[in-house]
Amino acid sequence: MFQAVSEHTHIPLHVTDAVPLAANDPAGQNAFFFLVVLSVSIYAMSIAVGAAGATRPWRDRLLLGLGASLLIASVETALAAYGFGMFAGHIPATFGLALLYSLTIMLIGIGLHPILTRLSTLIFAIAFVGLNFTSSGGVFEPMMQPAVFGWLNQFWIGAAFIEAMRRIQYFPHLSAAQPLGVILGWLVFGVLCVLAGRAIERLRRAIPAQREPLNESTRLELEEDVAV
């Protein structure tokens, strides 16, 4: 991007690497591609758990979601680390971050599924693919993106994941408290989504139960009127 500007303006371009890229991360984008695979897997699984577990108690859904999050984080971290040689020297931290990220999206997905129902796939794709990847800063820095994505980068979960991975890989002297705090904030939101989804389900089940006696009473009154 800057090379084209340099050639057009005839101003020499000088690049200084703040931190050399790892040998197994030649483009500096391993964290972004890991985010893509992790996000698609976990949001799709959250929809499956929410739909398949709609008739099951919430405890069963949450346990299934926890198991699925653990499985996805484990398999994809192992595949990235031992299959493609990514994140050398940072595998435990990468796994812990992947598990936290997966569990967070899983809770949001399971909790909102009873509320969004058939719109779940569309809404989650927008939130965890469209907005998530674009605002993450994994390919282009926020300052090089349209203003809305630079704004989302400040608090969106994918951006926090990328920033935490960067600090783990390349800037271990920097605290990861800020990006982790953002992800934990989303985790709290996920818990609230579960509580809201549970409340909505109870409300929907209670309404027909309340209407049943009324319908029966109305039917008897109509029968009496006909008899008269």
- Asked if the structure places residue 209 within a domain, the reply is no
Q: Residue 72: what pLDDT?
A: 97
- Whether 220 is in a domain gets the answer no
Q: 142 to each of 27, 153, 171, how far by Cα in Å?
A: 17, 7, 19
Note the pTM of the prediction, 2 decimals: 0.85
- Count of the separate structural domains present in the chain: 1
pLDDT computed for residue 221 by the predictor: 47
Assigned domain for 210 exists: no
72 CB-side CA count, 13 A: 29
Taking only the tens place, the pLDDT of each residue in 108-139 is 999 999 999 889 999 999 999 999 999 999 88
226 lies in some domain: no
What is the C-alpha to C-alpha distance for residues 225 and 43, in angstroms, rounded to an integer? 56
Neighbours of 51 (CB within 10 A): 14
Given a cut of 70, the residues of the chain with pLDDT beneath it are 208-228
CB atoms within 10 A of CB 62: 17
- Please report the pLDDT score of residue 209 as a whole number: 57
Examine residue 212 and state whether it is found in any structural domain, yes or no: no
Is there a domain that residue 6 lies in?
no
Report the 10 Å Cβ neighbour count for 116: 17
| Residue 184 lies in domain | 24-199
Cβ contact 179:164 at 8 Å: yes
Note whether residue 211 is domain-resident: no
The answer to the question of residue 91 being in a domain is yes
CB-based contacts of 71-76 (< 8 A; 24+ apart in sequence)? 72/38, 72/41, 72/42, 72/45, 72/102, 73/38, 73/98, 73/99, 73/101, 73/102, 74/99, 76/34, 76/37, 76/38, 76/41
pLDDT at 215: 53
